[in-house]
Copies of this chain bind each other. A is one copy, B any other.
């Protein structure tokens, strides 16, 4: 099966990193295609970025003309757009935010999310709540690092471990990497913390494979019906 993984920002290097994370998680028969929006923010940090990103991701998928695919993974942690993509495409759509939380719920009684900037906490809390998995989230906490600062692996790991302690104090028994750009970090921090750490990119790939494998896709019988036919202008020309 083919899974399209869309980055939520325009930074090509980050798409590549996400695709590496996705491929590491994918099963033998799964092909991963990364997409980078042609417009949008270079990183998504805050609501303005998130709404800009949501439209750009929708546009990217709307105008996609590559080979057919079986599922979409949205690789923006806490970013908007998933419900719109569910309306747009006929295949299952999995957002890395909810994906990480779904798996985390299976691994402990309470989980915590460690993200980048503190300002992203609210978006993530809202996203988890609306996805229906907010109840067992003990804490969302920031590291103070920006999305594009995650390149320094040592600093990121130290910041992650420090923030993770706060989540643990709040009752978290499982941790979630709260940014697509952290993908790959899970093994190292899990060992140091002695707790399972879930990467949303890998989680979403596995959930997408699960849905495809079971022949399930988004319900058209309610919220996520196909978009109404109408005039839409996607760009000022």
Contacts and interface: CB of A to CB of B under 8 A. Distances in A.
A151 interface: no
A84 B48 contact: yes
Given A171-B222, A222-B109, A223-B119, A42 B230 contact: yes
A227 B106 contact: no
Nearest to A37: B233
Given A135-B134, A221-B194, A94 B106 contact: yes
Contact of A230 (B43, B93, B206, B215): B43
Nearest to A222: B173
Interface string A220-237: 111111011011111110
Indicate how many identical chains form the complex. 6
Interface in A70-117: 80-81, 83-88, 92-94, 98, 102-103, 105-110, 117
A221 to B, nearest CB: 5
Interface residues on A, range: 35 or more
Interface in A184-222: 187, 193-196, 198-199, 202-203, 206-207, 209-211, 213-222
A88 to B, nearest CB: 6
Contacts of A39: 233-236
A229 to B, nearest CB: 11
Interface of A: 10, 25, 27, 38-43, 45-52, 54-56, 58-59, 80-81, 83-88, 92-94, 98, 102-103, 105-110, 117-119, 121-123, 126, 129-136, 146, 168, 171, 173-174, 187, 193-196, 198-199, 202-203, 206-207, 209-211, 213-225, 227-228, 230-236
